[in-house]
Amino acid sequence: MHTMKKKEKFFGLLGIGTIGILSSIGICINGYANSALAATQTKVTTANTTVRVGNFCSMTATIQPGEQHSASLIGGHYKDSIGLTTIQTFCNDPNGYAIYAIGYTGGDTGVAAGTNTVLHSNALGSTYDIVTGIATSGDISNWAMKVSSVSGTYAPTIESDTEGSFSNYHTVPQSYTKVAKFNTSTDATIGSSLTTTYAVYVKPTQPAGTYEGQVKYVLLHPASSLEPGTYYMQDVDEWGSQVAIGQEITVYDNRDNKSYTVRRMCMEGTGNTWQEKELDCSKSMLWMTQNLDLDLDSSVTLNSINTDLNTVGSGAYVDGYSFDYDTGVIYYNPVRSTINNINTENGSFSGWLNKSTLPYSFDPDSVDTTKSWYSTDAIYASNDACHWDADTQACNYLNRNNTTATIYFSQTAFSSNGSHGKVGNYYNWTTAIASNNSSSLTASTYDNVDNNPQNSVCPKGWRLPTISSVRTRDEFTELVYVYNNHKTSGFNGAGDNLLQNPIYFVRSGNAEGGTVHNAGFYGGYLSSTVRSIDMVSYIFLSRPDFGTAESTSRANGWSIRCVSDY
């Protein structure tokens, strides 16, 4: 007896491949039991076992000679075959892989033109950089690359684009461009390689000096994964379906151009670990893996082109709303701007009232770096509390043995969890659902989330998650079930799993009564589900426990993670 399970595509970044194909082997073991009383009876026992083959994809680059390529020439001249870069690939993704390249320079500020000092710039194309672009009769400096060879049992195919094949010298791309691909699985222990080399032309008027640039290579798998590039959250209907399960990308909110990481998460799959569930996933959604950081401004009108606004003219969506009958666009003017002032050492800020039906939000980025108001040491004598470092603007979270300090979140863009650790803003529920007055929303929707409010401050194409008495409608619980060792509700431990890859929830405390309380000690994420006249459902993270179907006052400010159905 042999069975095969459905295979699911998976994405990984260079050198990181944790999941792959699945094969099942059914083994039948037959036993015969005979007795004098039942000589003709046969007992058959079957036993099945499943073997999961992990996806391993990696890429390494060797630069020859030494650590960098270099060449010397004078203006008006061309030089090719500048060094060799050998890229070795190993990948058993059943749907292959693709290699992308992009040119970029160092992050230092360039010096005055004409000096013979190494020049760097933040972007290719600045004055006196040797820029990418087509060289035409000596009027522009240009550097190029080509794939000079491919080799190995599973040698990739060299790509072409509108400028031609990368098998010939090709302008180093200014955006991620596919240079090679392999469409089927390879042997993860054999691998293949490709070699690139470089060329440069310097225009006659280029000042003397040393100029540096770099080419960055990225391996994506499967080969059909959404390629690197600039994507906006509001366009999720165009690119969302191309994001493979397990793929994380950086996208932008076009309302303020802030960037966020988003990932396609498995919501239902088989296996004992989240990696196995992603391997055999039957249901998935896109989730933000960073907290929403949108600042509301009473002088800035949101609309249904950039914001999750779907209804107008009744209940909670009258005050501040208007509708253009000609264009079909809904407009919403927030009655209250996001608070961004800090008054005292303990983190108090003026302007927040605990009103469950009125909107309030707070931006902690405005904190005075000389004040340690995030520290909860004075409140909780616990190793699980946040130890705020005013110099780094980060929360150091000590483990239970008081031995390891890990920065789980930060007011700045990065922490030990990278950009995932940023706190974002605190929103009460009325603000979260994009209302100026939610007093009309009093009936519980816990048993029927179809009656949840239909608007939110999430970008267009995204919304607040749901929490429901029906498990398959309870998106927070489904997420936790997959990524937290089958734990589905209640304070049953292992909540630290939710703080790490791939979810990166943040214990950022909450805003209540004009103060941020217990950052680093607990945190929570709002849903769109009404629980009662003054309560709403949310997921609560304590130390290290959690609850997925808890309720909180609609007046309290918590974090937001938006989800998309695309």
CA distances from 365 to 362, 425, 439, 477, 512 (A): 9, 8, 30, 30, 17
Q: Over the range 227-260, which residues count as b (16 or more CB within 10 Å of their CB) and which as e? A: bbeebbbbbbeebbebbbbbbbbebbbebeebeb
Question: How do residues 345-372 score in pLDDT, each as one tens digit?
Answer: 555 778 899 899 999 999 887 655 444 4
| Per-block mean pLDDT, blocks of 10 residues, the chain (566 long) | 35 30 32 48 72 80 81 83 91 89 58 38 37 54 87 91 87 86 84 90 75 81 83 96 89 95 94 85 96 96 98 94 96 95 65 92 70 43 58 64 59 67 92 97 96 97 96 92 70 72 88 81 93 94 80 96 97
Measured distance CA(92)–CA(188) in Å, rounded = 5
Q: How far apart are CA 554 and CA 189, in angstroms?
A: 55
- Residue 537 CA to chain centroid, in angstroms? 24
CA dihedral 340, 343, 346, 352 (to 10 degrees): -50
The total of other beta-carbon atoms located within 10 Å of residue 370's CB is: 8
Q: How many CB atoms lie within 10 A of CB 427?
A: 27
The CA-atom distances, in angstroms, between 183 and each of 8, 149, 166, 247, 307 are 15, 18, 18, 18, 38
3-state DSSP assignment of residue 389:
strand
- 468 token code pair: 């429901």
Residue 57 has phi, psi (to 5 degrees) of -135, 130
Distance CA 183, CA 202 (A): 38
- pLDDT score for 347: 59
| Burial state string for 52-62 with b = 16 or more CB within 10 A and e = fewer than 16 | beebbbbbeee
Contact 329, 304 (CB under 8 A): yes
CA triplet 104, 108, 110: central angle to 5 degrees?
95
345 DSSP 8-state letter: T
pLDDT (tens digit per residue) in 200-218 = 887 777 777 777 777 888 8
Amino acid letter, residue 81: S
Q: Cα–chain-centroid distance for residue 13?
A: 12
Distance CA 145, CA 134 (A): 12
For the beta sheet containing 546-553, the strands, ordered from the edge strand earlier in sequence to the opposite edge, are 523-530, 535-541, 546-553
By CB atoms closer than 10 A (0-12, 13-18, 19+), residue 303 is middle
d(CA 244, CA 264): 6
At residue 412, the pLDDT reads 64
- CB distance 213 to 103 below 8 Å: yes
Given this model, what pLDDT does residue 117 score?
A: 39
Beta strands in 35-96 (DSSP E): 47-52, 57-64, 78-91
What is the residue whose two structure tokens read 């595509």?
Answer: 9
DSSP 421: G
Tokens representing residue 116 in the block: 């013979």
Residue 549 dihedral angles phi and psi, to the nearest 5°: -130, 45
Q: What is the DSSP letter of 309?
A: -
Sign of CA dihedral 427, 433, 435, 437: negative
Cβ contacts of residue 467 below 8 Å, gap of 6+?
A: 446, 449, 474, 475, 476, 477, 527, 529, 537, 538, 539, 548, 549
Question: What pLDDT, on a 0 to 100 scale, did the predictor assign at position 107?
Answer: 41
Q: Mean pLDDT across the chain, nearest whole number?
A: 79
What are the residues whose beta carbons fall under 8 Å from the beta carbon of 93, sequence distance 6 or more?
10, 12, 17, 20, 21, 55, 57, 185, 221, 222, 223
Between CA 222 and CA 183 the distance in angstroms is: 8
In this prediction the pTM is 0.74
Residue partners of 481: CB distance under 8 A and separation at least 6: 487, 488
Give the max Cα distance, the chain: 105
Contact between 542 and 409 under an 8 Å Cβ cutoff? The reply is no
Specify the pLDDT at position 51: 75
Query: Where do the DSSP E strands lie in 270-420?
Result: 281-288, 302-303, 321-324, 329-332, 361-362, 386-389, 394-398, 405-410
Q: What is the pLDDT of residue 113?
A: 40
